[in-house]
A and B are shown apart, each in its own frame.
Chain A
Amino acid sequence: MTINFEVNGARRIFEGDPFKRLIDVLREDFALTGTKEGCGEGECGACTVLLDGRPVNSCLIPICQADGHRIETVENLGIPERLSALQKAFLEEGGAQCGICTPGMLLAAAAHLKAGGKADDLSIRRALGGNLCRCTGYQHIVKAVQKAAKAPRKPRRKKA
């Protein structure tokens, strides 16, 4: 079966088992290993990606459900030389420790901010409620998201 979908702005075609999990297609077929598997049953959120801008557990999505849709992974957020405001805030506030939950956490937070979600403690904690982190106790993550919410939405381009 042929699946047409978009990954990080690029059109992609997948040919194969329509019930292959989205996480496996991303990691195995497109080498996007930034998406992590923590439990394989939709509990931990480490495999969170954005489907048409909404956070989903990619371990629970058969690839056929991605047909015609837009997927965003952590690789689309920024690169080490040019981090997004959210990534930068995570770096400065201690929002990432071991780093395994970080890609999913970032995407859940990015979706919350992009959807105009509130920047108060409880709203952010609610938005991240499906993403488990065992290292941080969440406080530094929440602080980082609050900081990013206050930052200008797009990083300013440096003038030549």
Chain B
Amino acid sequence: MPAVGTNVIRKEGAEKLCGRAKFIDDLSFPDCLHGVTLRSTIPFGRIKKVSFDPSFPWDECTVATARDIPGKNAVQHIETDQPLLVGERVMHPMEPILLVAHPSRQKAYEALRHITVDYEEYDPVLTPEDSVALKAVLRAPDNLFKDVRIDKGDIAAGFAAADIVVEGEYRVPHQEQAYIEPNGMAAWLEPDGTLVAKGSMQCPYYVHKALMLLFNLPAEKVRVIQAVTGGAFGGKEDYPSVIGGHAALLAWKSRRPVKIIYDRPEDMASTSKRHPAVVRHRTGLTRDGRLLAQDIDVLFDGGAYSTMSPVVLSRGAIHASGAYACPNVRIRARAAATNSVPNGAYRGFGVPQTLFAAELHMDRIAEALRMDPAELRRRNLLREGSSTATGQVLRHSVGAADALDACLRRSRYAQKRKACAAWNKRSRNPTWRGTGLSFAYHGAGFTGGGEVFYASKAGLALDADGGVRVLAASTEMGQGEATVFAQIAADALGVPYGWVETETPDTSKVPNSGPTVASRTTMIVGRLVERAARQLKAELEEAAGKVPKSRPAWLKAVRRFLDGRPSREVICQYERPPGQQWDEKTYRGDAYGSFAYAAVVVDLEVDKLTYEVKVTRVTTAFELGRAIHPLFAEGQIIGGLTQGLGYALTENPVYKRGVMVNPHFTDYVIPTSMDAPPMDVVLLEKPYEHGAFGAKGIGELPNDTPAPAVAAALRQATGRWFTELPILPEKICKALHDDKL
């Protein structure tokens, strides 16, 4: 029976359900020390002096500073601008200055209170606007981590031909990933000198590369192992290289295992988040709603160091025009340095910011044209043969129109809009109601030439005991990687799902299949697993005839095939599909192998007394190529939409002097079971020929859609445009009362 397309049981599910799955803080190590971090309390300045209280028993502690780093004091992300520990210059609040380890976690924290830091403070740059105005130079010459320009057609001619021009400005804040397991990492030295780090992470080979640079070690002397990871959502893409470096440095100095586990406030205040952004649109159209020109300006607050900002910005910029075909497009996108905690990866990776602007702007255009928002979208939607802002011509698996129509039908969008309008006319009703639509697309896999550059490898091993193990560095973090890879391998090899296991990512055992990011795991890495399994099948068939169906016959065939070898590994490497091209200099070409498409309709009501917003239903249709595991796909979609609703309505990170001042679940409010509405998910399949069994990546797409649909629904409910997130009750109250003054 094929496994692909069915809801097989989660591989690691029973362990998780019985409390047996070992997250990093569940593991104990002999003679382990607990590491803690002394952090800067100012946004910008210079350390003059660090003093240690002589009455504290420092001989019980290991203290590590930048001077103890044997290699380069730099965290390897895309660049190496971020130091592991402050040398002298402080660039943001919560910046790590030194590390303390002690056998007791409590004592380690106590030690921090006996250290005093004297600073010379500089005037900080706290907004991206101040940064691009060069209020101070944080990063020569222009304070920019990246400056993207996308040009298509002739923008001036487009505006000249337009009957109508609509302008708008949109603002979005930080967003915290809010995985329930905080960041944590352990490190130790093996007797042979190998440096080992184990912990909660998305990208073992990122940490591996970072440790090589920090400790000046060759690849084979560094080993990185993923522990069971309690949610990540991008928040464990770049940061584990920092905390992993810290744990490793303390282990290196103390010669003992060291564990660093952040508590919630430290995790929220000091790790990277979604970039805040300001997006401006100027759009020219014909009277009947055809897009003629889109002029878009995007400005991201990158924080103090580059982390992932260049690629987050790049993805945000490419998606900034929305899922529409427009002949003339100009996009300028910049990510600027500020003296705030660095921002980085969060599920959606730049797109929730720019799509909020693009989609809400479509609603404002529809209103200016007196046109139905769904009809305006339908007229401009990407179709087979359309070309995107980068000039990518979409040839296959373009399910945009299908997704829009399916969602409109399923949600009864048109009837609901009418019903809401009727409800809102009755002044005695206790609420206002609204229904809003948005549409999104999300490119799967790395942007542009990223997949070619990384040339990922993955495959599988067939062992003498008849076991099949998928070998990849892609991590299971709840999304279902271990299960989905086993499904793909089982079907491609022609064996039952139960015969295949997915190896835990460990750089000493698995090839580098690249980071677990960018909605690339199922589509790109899954495809490598599929190819390797087909190759292994061919080898098996050559040696032993047909792949046997019964276990005894299988074991016999495996023995004959292996012929005394302990196992056979087949590893495949990424190959660019024919015809795909990308020019990084001009931002022209095929930005992604393929896009997945989604429409969402949000129904909500606003309490007339408290201005609280209750989302009553979300309906969505996703065109995802092929659902390898429909239940998991639905789980990804519902989970992502819920994060998107939080972004729209409740998640309000308050920043003062470059740092989040509400780093708790008490005052940073993520949706609870009472806030999350019932959701109706429609899956549509238009297989993508270069994805595993036709699959396209959809991990991030659900985060892109809810916020603009919420704002559109609130427009209908309240008659006001809310162009800045989050849309809190007090903001609605103010908008309604300002008019009356």
Contact = CB atoms under 8 A, between A and B. Distances in A.
Given A97-B479, A100-B180, A126 B16 contact: no
Interface string B253-278: 00000000001100000000000000
A64 interface: no
B17 A90 contact: yes
A85 to B, nearest CB: 12
A63 interface: no
A83 B643 contact: no
Contacts of B21: 99
B478 A97 contact: yes
Contact of B664 (A41, A74, A99): A41
A96 B10 contact: yes
B639 interface: yes
A78 B14 CA distance: 10
Secondary structure call for the A interface: loop
A98 B231 contact: yes
Nearest to B635: A94
Interface string B625-656: 00000011011001111110000000000000
Contacts of A128: 673
Contact of B264 (A40, A87, A96): A40
B261 to A, nearest CB: 9
Contact of B18 (A38, A43, A75, A129): A75
Interface in A31-47: 32-41, 43-44, 46
Nearest to A86: B17
Contacts of B15: 80, 99
Contacts, number: 170
B180 A33 contact: no
A76 B65 CA distance: 45
Interface in B460-476: none
Nearest to A102: B16
Contacts of A100: 23, 179-181, 230-231
A79 interface: yes
A131 B26 contact: no
A141 interface: yes
Interface in A69-97: 73-75, 77-80, 83, 87, 90-94, 96-97
A99 B230 contact: yes
Interface stretch (B54-62, B515-523, B525-533, B674-682): B674-682
Contacts of B10: 91, 94, 96
A139 interface: yes
Contacts of A41: 264, 664-666
A55 interface: no
Interface in A10-62: 27, 32-41, 43-44, 46
A132 B642 contact: no
Contact of B229 (A73, A98, A137, A142): A98
A139 B17 contact: no
B728 to A, nearest CB: 19
A136 B635 contact: yes
Interface string B1-15: 000000101101111
B18 A83 contact: yes
Nearest to A97: B478
A99 B18 contact: no
B179 to A, nearest CB: 6
Interface in B189-247: 228-233
A80 B179 contact: no
Nearest to A78: B18
A106 B16 CA distance: 11
Nearest 7 pairs of A and B residues by beta carbon: A34-B19, A100-B230, A98-B478, A99-B16, A97-B478, A137-B642, A43-B665
Interface of A: 27, 32-41, 43-44, 46, 73-75, 77-80, 83, 87, 90-94, 96-103, 106, 121, 124-126, 128-142
Given A38-B180, A91-B17, 8 more contacts: A41-B664, A43-B665, A78-B18, A94-B7, A101-B180, A126-B674, A132-B180, A135-B478
Interface of B: 7, 9-10, 12-23, 25-26, 177-182, 228-233, 263-264, 477-480, 631-632, 634-635, 638-643, 664-666, 670-674, 676, 678-679
22 contacts: A27-B26, A36-B180, A38-B180, A38-B665, A43-B664, A75-B18, A78-B17, A80-B17, A80-B18, A92-B7, A94-B10, A97-B478, A98-B229, A99-B228, A99-B478, A100-B181, A102-B16, A125-B674, A126-B673, A133-B673, A138-B642, A139-B678
